[in-house]
Structure 1
Amino acid sequence: MADRIQKIVTKLPDMKSVTDVWKAADRSLGRGDAAFVADLAIALAGVYASEAGRIWQYRSVFDYLLRLLATTPGSGNVAQALRLVSSTEAADGKLDRYAASLLASSQPAEELAVAFTGHATEEVRACLVHELVLRGVDVTEAPGIAGWATSSHWRLHPLGWLPLALSELEGRPDLPSYGAHGGSHSMPYGPPVNREVPRDDRAPVPPVEETTTEAVAKTTGVAVMNWAEESNGRIEARVFDLGAPLEAESVPRMLMALGLKCLEGAGTKKAALTVATCPPEHPWRVLFAAASTGGAYNSGVRGAYGRLAAWQSVAGLSGAEQGCGAEEVEAVVRACAWYAFGAGTKWFERVAWDIGLVAVSAERRRLSMLAATDTD
Structure 2
Amino acid sequence: MEDAKDDLGALVWGQAEQRAAHGDASYVRELGSQLADRHAAAVEQVREYERQLAHVVRVLALTPSRDSLVQLLRLLDEKRPFTAGSNLAPRFVASLLAEHQHVSDLAATVFDRNEREPHRLDELRACLFHELVLRGVDVEQFPPLRCWLLVRPGWQALSWLPVQRRDFEAGVGFPSRSMHGSASGSGTGVPTEGRVDPPTPRTSERSALRDIATTEVHETIVAAVQAGDWGDCGAWVFMLDEAVAPARVPALLPTLPMPCVDGLSPTDRFEIAVRPVDEIWRLLFVTASMGGMHSSGVQGAYGRLWAWRSMAGLSGAPAGASADEVERHVRQSTWFHFEADADWFQNDIYDYGIAALSPDLRRIAVLAATDTD
TM-score by length of 2: 0.79
Q: Which moved more, 1:321-330 or 1:85-94?
A: 85-94
Distance in 2 between residues matched to 1:157 and 1:244, nearest whole Å: 41
Structure 1 equivalent of residue 196 of structure 2: 197
> Of residues 329, 352, 362 in structure 1, which corresponds to 2:359?
362
The SS at the match of 1:151 is helix
Mapped pair 1:134 → 2:129: no
What CA distance in whole angstroms lies between the structure 2 residues aligned with 1:174 and 1:247? 33
- Please point out which of 88, 94, 97 is paired with 1:100: 94
Name whichever of 239-248 and 56-65 sits farther off. Answer: 56-65
Match of 2:75 among 77, 84, 91: 84
**Contact 1:355–1:372 (CA<8 Å) still a contact in 2?**
yes
Residue 87 of structure 1 and its aligned partner are, at CA, apart by 4.1
Any gaps of 5 or more consecutive residues in structure 2? Answer: 1-39
Matching residue of 1:165: 164
Shift of 1:306: 0.7
Contact 1:198–1:249 (Cα < 8 Å) also in 2? no
Using the alignment, how far apart are the partners of 1:348 and 1:114 within structure 2?
Answer: 47
Q: Could you say which residue in structure 2 is the equivalent of 1:248?
A: 246
Q: What letter is aligned with 1:258?
A: L
| Structure-to-structure mapping, 1:201-240, within 5 angstroms | 201=202, 208-227=209-228, 230=229, 233-240=231-238
Q: Secondary structure at the residue paired with 2:317?
A: coil
Indicate if the aligned counterparts of 2:134 and 2:170 stay in contact, CA closer than 8 A.
Answer: no
Structure 1 residue 59 displacement after superposition: 4.6
**Alpha-carbon shift at residue 157 of structure 1 (Å):** 1.6
243-252 or 210-219, which deviates more: 243-252
Structure 1 residues 153, 77: CA separation in 2 closer, same or farther (over 3 Å shift)?
closer
Letter in 2 for 1:142: F
Q: 1:347 to 1:235 in 2, by over 3 A?
A: same
Secondary structure in 1 matching 2:59:
helix
String of CA shifts for 1:10-52, please: whole Å, max 9, x gaps.
xxxxxxxxxxxxxxxxxxxxxxxxxxxxxxxxxxxxxx9x947
- Are the aligned partners of 2:190 and 2:272 in contact in 1 as well (CA < 8 Å)? no
Q: Kindly indicate whether the alpha-carbon contact (under 8 Å) linking 1:206 and 1:244 is maintained by their aligned counterparts in 2.
A: no
**Conserved 8 A contact 1:344-1:350:** yes
RMSD: 2.6
> Does structure 1 retain, via aligned residues, the 8 Å contact 2:209–2:257?
no
SS across alignment from 1:284: helix
Distance 1:85 1:351 in 2: 41
Q: CA deviation at 1:180?
A: 0.9
- Inter-partner Cα distance in structure 2 for 1:301 and 1:348: 24
Q: Could you tell me how far apart the structure 2 residues matched to 1:178 and 1:288 are?
A: 18
Q: Does structure 1 conserve the Cα–Cα contact (< 8 Å) formed by 2:62 and 2:101?
A: yes
Residue 108 of structure 1 and its aligned partner are, at CA, apart by 0.9
Q: 1:371 aligns with which of 350, 368, 373?
A: 368
**Paired residues of 1:139 and 1:145 also in contact (CA < 8 A):** yes
Q: Is the 8 A contact 1:197 1:252 kept in 2?
A: yes
Would the aligned equivalents of 1:206 and 1:243 in 2 still touch at CA under 8 Å? no
Kept in 1: contact 2:207–2:256 (CA 8 A): no
**Contact in 2 for aligned 1:203/1:249 (Cα 8 Å):** no
> What is the CA distance between 1:256 and its match in structure 2?
1.7
Report the Cα distance in structure 1 between the residues aligned to 2:170 and 2:265, rounded to whole angstroms. 35
The superposition leaves residues 248-287 of structure 1 with CA deviations (integer Å, 9 ceiling, x where unpaired) of 3322332122121112222365x41111111111111100
- In the superposition, the TM-score normalised over structure 1's length comes to 0.78
Asked if 2 retains the 8 angstrom alpha-carbon contact of 1:85 and 1:99, the reply is no
Shift of 1:124: 0.6
* Preserved contact between residue 318 and residue 359 of structure 1 (Cα < 8 Å): yes
